[in-house]
Chain A
Amino acid sequence: MTYFPEEVVEHIFDFLTSHRDRNTVSLVCKAWYRVERLSRRNVFIGNCYAVKPGTLVSRFPRIRSLKLKGKPHFADFNLVPPGWGANALPWVEAIARGCPNLEELHLKRMVISDECLELLARSFPNFRALVLVSCEGFSTDGLAAIATHCKWLRELDLHENEVDDRGEWISCFPDSCTSLVSLNFACLKGEVNALALERLVTRCTNLQSLRLSSAVSLETLSRVILRGPQLRDLGTGSYVHDPRSEPYLNLASAFMACKSLRSLSGFWEVTAQCLPAVYPICSNLTTLNLSYAASIQGTELIKMIRHSRKLQSLWVLDLIGDRGLCVVASTCKELQELRVFPSDPSGDGSAASVTEEGLLSVSMGCPKLHSILYFCRQMTNAALIDVAKNCPRFTRFRLCVLDPRKPDPLTSRPLDEGFGAIVRSCRELRRLSVSGLLTDKVFHYIGRYAQKLEMLSVAFAGESDRGMQELMEGCRRLRKLEIRDCPFGDAALLKDADKYETMRSLWMSSCDVTLQACQALAAKMPRLNVEVISDDGDFAGGAVCQVEKLYVYRTVAGPRDDAPAYVWTL
């Protein structure tokens, strides 16, 4: 290979699409390292503090696309206090200086300000795609800057962000903007200029994906659909109207013309009598997300499902009930991914919910099912054992029994055996979340059988350090481990310190780890950042004080310089 000119080597590397492969070839020899780094177009950084922005830019000066992840996963559930970090600005500044050809930026769980968005919009003349997932810190002013200055914008995807509403911004897309392929602003709350939206959809003839916010009325939706019958992915806004009215009738006929629609979501507020307009589309859908539709009741959900025989991915609220899941099982034979969210998370259990029966019926009826996120009121070992038998192909299995530490209601036993069956049967399992009453035994099973496990989430489980130790010993491919409210302490933390360098990160909160142990870990492993978070910013307790929250991650960037007062890097 070294006899080939660099262009040839580069061309060969073009066929390597996975980050892992490209990382690997760059280690072969200096020549390959050089070719690889100069030809690299996409970079993925799973932890924005693992490397400095400047390092990225100097190694890969020609990147076109960057994907960054910031805060730890548990930040989604308010376990990370505000102001923690994960600021996008240093990255955008560095890339603006060093890689002006940037075309795409994907950020997840990061903080990005309006100024940063403005800088982004002005610094990259070829900028095409901005994807923000679970981010915060910006407002519609920043979006207005993007709309105004990014001439070739193809994709603007705002997925479940916290955005301040400072006014209308859709009208900021200039008349010359015709390149949009994907526009998702479903998470916004503010006013939308319906006319501007319609005009935008009309002139962007390549638009394939459009997800509207709840401020967009059904009437506007019907006009928009008329202009964009080529859409493949639609998120409705507020789905409320008089079913006898003209706009609704128009919508119904507009839907009939949408032959390409494969993915549907939205339904922020719903008039049940208007749902029939959607039925003709349902038969072609492969993706259906009804998890925001808190006002569609079980019977209506079931009607929609009955029309959706081709579904591959279904996200739904537990309003669907076990009965509805039974219908899913008998109708959706192509189903690969199912997510059932709780409709009343803080409730007293009297609201609708699903149980082990729903999961069981889906496992029996859907042979292609391999990814599940399931919030339920209760679960039994027997059901889990059967599910494991029916679906040995799970790659992602996340089960959340709403009541922490709830045992199997039939036997009053912990759920160790059920999860044990899952990991034993599902050899390809990469992601697992466990819940319910669990002892150390479940970790013994996981450590022993879940050899491909990469990410594990544990809450209110285990009895002693042994649990975590068996986990760490056994799961060789573990990359992310997040634990809360478990009795794992210093011995478990320090058992295999070297392992943390093979992982992206470890999160432990409300466990039994002391400051002393964390300091010992930090001293032993200089290439880890051991960050201790104190909720009240107070580290006065001394070496034996319990650590409230611990976040450990490997890094080549050293301790970070933007940590707030309540974060102490040891």
Chain B
Amino acid sequence: MEAVSGGGARGRGSCPKLLDLIPNGGDWSERDGGQRDYGVAEEQKLELRLGLPGGEDWRAVREEEEPPSVLSLGFLPVRASSNLSSHDRAAPSSPVVGWPPIRSFRKNLASSSFSKPSYPSQNENPGKTDTQEGCRKSLVKINMDGMPIGRKIDLKAHSSYDELSSAVNELFRGLIAAQRNENPALRNQSHGGRRQAITGLLDGSGEHTLVYEDNEGDVLLVGDVPWDMFVAAAKRLRMLKSSELSSSLSVSSPMPTFNSPPDDDPLILLKL
């Protein structure tokens, strides 16, 4: 009997094809169409020899056999069943080396991009940006009350609250100094324009207190839970003015939130 063609795409004859017995036989032929061809002759012989019960009479088989039994005979190469699974999925199950053909740095663009660090505004949905960040690195936004420009800090780069505290200090010292230099009014304040270290973030003794927003949206004081738990849970940080913290503890005043616009008009602060 003449060899059975492995795929309709090759158009090698009109005899009933083994693959017609399988549901979506057309799809199968396409799947095989691009596969390596060198083994096909072998396969075809196998298909016939180890064949379906009843030997070479196709038509009888078609009525009686259920298509899945062809697969269960196991001689259709494993490749075929893996074709099925890979076709079902939109992408190959394991990444193919060098595919798609783009340079490595492009593959990392999406994950290393900091998504949209957008600034607080009425249209803003802070949840949107944070989900992307949370999955990749522990870079969280940190805002300081009175400072219109925030920073970002990588929580995973630190291993303790003390380290965090000094890192925060480093991040904002420069900005504070810049702010003071811009605004003559502020320059004459008690800090005298020199770079003041930010201290007492964690124990309430300093001018600012560090709070964070967790994945449930609650605002909590930094320092209560073990460091690792904190890193996993913290989505944003904020340095509240300690005075605001104490006043917010009274029943009537509003909760400090992460979405309220800064108190001071940034344009005045930066002295246009």
Contact = CB atoms under 8 A, between A and B. Distances in A.
A487 B97 contact: no
Most chain A beta carbons < 10 A, residue from B89, B117, B266, B267: B117
A73 B242 CA distance: 60
A173 B271 CA distance: 34
Contacts of B36: 487, 512
A130 B103 CA distance: 22
Interface string B257-272: 0000000001100101
Interface in B136-168: 148-149
A357 B100 CA distance: 20
B119 A243 contact: yes
Interface stretch (B71-79, B107-115, B208-216): B107-115
A553 interface: no
| Max count, chain B CB within 10 A of own CB: residue among A240, A244, A400 | A244
A439 B33 contact: yes
A153 B81 CA distance: 61
A536 B88 CA distance: 33
A77 B36 CA distance: 22
The B interface is mostly helix, strand or loop, or mixed, namely loop
Contacts of B33: 405, 407, 414, 437, 439, 463
A349 interface: yes
B191 interface: no
B98 A74 contact: yes
A461 interface: yes
A356 B115 CA distance: 28
- Among A79, A347, A404: residue with most chain B CB under 10 A: A404
Contact of A246 (B30, B35, B270): B270
A402 B104 CA distance: 16
B99 A413 contact: no
B266 to A, nearest CB: 6
B251 interface: no
Contacts of B103: 76-77, 134, 160
Nearest to A241: B149
Interface in B18-59: 26-27, 30-31, 33-38
Interface in A396-434: 400, 402-405, 407, 412-414, 433
B266 A242 contact: yes
Q: Decide if the interface of chain A is mainly helix, strand, loop or mixed.
A: loop
Contacts, number: 141
A245 B101 contact: no
B148 A244 contact: yes
A113 interface: no
A272 B91 contact: no
Nearest to B113: A294
B102 A341 contact: yes
A349 B90 contact: yes
B38 A439 contact: no
30 contacts: A77-B97, A77-B101, A78-B97, A79-B98, A160-B105, A245-B266, A246-B267, A268-B113, A269-B113, A269-B117, A295-B113, A295-B116, A341-B102, A342-B102, A342-B106, A400-B101, A402-B91, A402-B100, A404-B99, A405-B34, A407-B33, A412-B27, A413-B9, A414-B9, A414-B30, A437-B34, A439-B10, A459-B101, A487-B35, A489-B38
Interface of B: 9-10, 26-27, 30-31, 33-38, 89-92, 95-107, 109-110, 113-119, 121, 148-149, 266-267, 270, 272
